[in-house]
Amino acid sequence: MKKIIEGPRGPISFSVQGRGPALVLIAGLGSRARLWGELPSLLGRHFTVICPENRGVAESRGGDAFSLSSAAEDIVFCLDELGLARASLLGVSMGGIIAQRLAIDFPGRIDRLIIASAAARLSVHGRRTMEMLRDLLDFLPPRDFGRALMCLAFAPPFQNRFPAFVSQAAELYGLEDEDVPGTRGQAEHLLEGWDYRDALGKLRVPTLIISGVRDAVVSIEDSREIASLIEGSEFLSLPDAGHSVLAEGGSVVLERILDFLGT
């Protein structure tokens, strides 16, 4: 079921499926909900899965400009709309940054927190990568953006083993023309920087951090820093995975997520 509601900062589009405890999937830069593939249906066997589309893309276009804080508030607004007091979060890439911000600002609304391929702050390496992504948005046709990202999204072993899957992902990652301004706005906001290290040190939410050792977008050192900051957190690294660690990790990652969420 897909819904579009009018939030305090503009329209918010999200889908809901499954039954059980609430679990919010928070996507990355420029991503529509379709990029989750089969994951919502798999997790929907155990959870009520909510997939919001971040401000600036799909039916969440319009209203205020994107920011990490407003993205977190949009998700809380969705939970309120659904009558949900609490939820667990699974955020990937930029979605992992939003998940951190949400847990910091609204800790009482969070049951468990999963952060994949994300950092607690904008590092030097992260800034260079984000500048490159912004430039790709400026100089490539929108539908070619996804194909260019594949060099960063998946580690070479996965690309060599599953070329058809990566080709399909490249098409899904291609941007719709109307999403380009919002995606660029997301990139520009991230380039303003964030640093959640102090706040994460005070966070008391059960947390699992997932990272690919071969992630060329967010280094494993940046992801591991989150684990060092959140007391009692768990850290899972996959030696042959890149930035798309959920897809590359397959059943290993899915089983760890389900175990962490207590199914």
| The pLDDT of residue 173 | 86
| Contacts of residue 9, Cβ cutoff 8 Å, sequence gap at least 6 | 55, 63, 64, 70, 73, 74
Strands (E), the chain: 2-7, 10-18, 22-26, 48-53, 87-92, 110-116, 207-212, 234-238
Domains along the chain with CATH numbers: 2-261 (3.40.50.1820)
| The pLDDT of residue 263 | 62
| Mean pLDDT score, 52-68 | 93
Going from the C-alpha of 12 to that of each of 36, 68, 74, 123, 166, the distances in angstroms are 18, 15, 7, 30, 29
> Would you state the structure tokens that stand for residue 11, as one six-digit string?
């329209």
| The pLDDT of residue 142 | 87
Instruction: Say what the pTM is.
Output: 0.97
Tell me how far apart the terminal alpha carbons of the chain are, to the nearest angstrom.
23
| Mean pLDDT score, 228-238 | 97
User: pLDDT category, 46, cuts 50, 70, 90?
Assistant: very high
pLDDT in tens, 68-111: 999 999 999 999 999 999 999 999 999 999 999 999 999 999 99
pLDDT in tens, 116-140: 999 999 999 999 999 999 999 999 9
Residues in the chain: 263
User: pLDDT category, 19, cuts 50, 70, 90?
Assistant: very high
pLDDT in tens, 156-205: 999 999 999 999 999 888 899 999 999 999 999 999 999 999 999 999 99
Burial zone of 125 (CB within 10 Å; 0-12 exposed, 13-18 middle, 19+ buried) = middle
| The pLDDT of residue 143 | 86
| Mean pLDDT score, 236-263 | 95
Mean pLDDT is lowest, of 3-7, 218-222, 233-237, for: 3-7
| Whole-number percent of the chain with pLDDT over 90 | 90
With contact defined as beta carbons under 8 Å apart, do 54 and 60 qualify? yes
| Whole-number percent of the chain with pLDDT over 70 | 100
Q: How far apart are CA 112 and CA 262, in angstroms?
A: 10
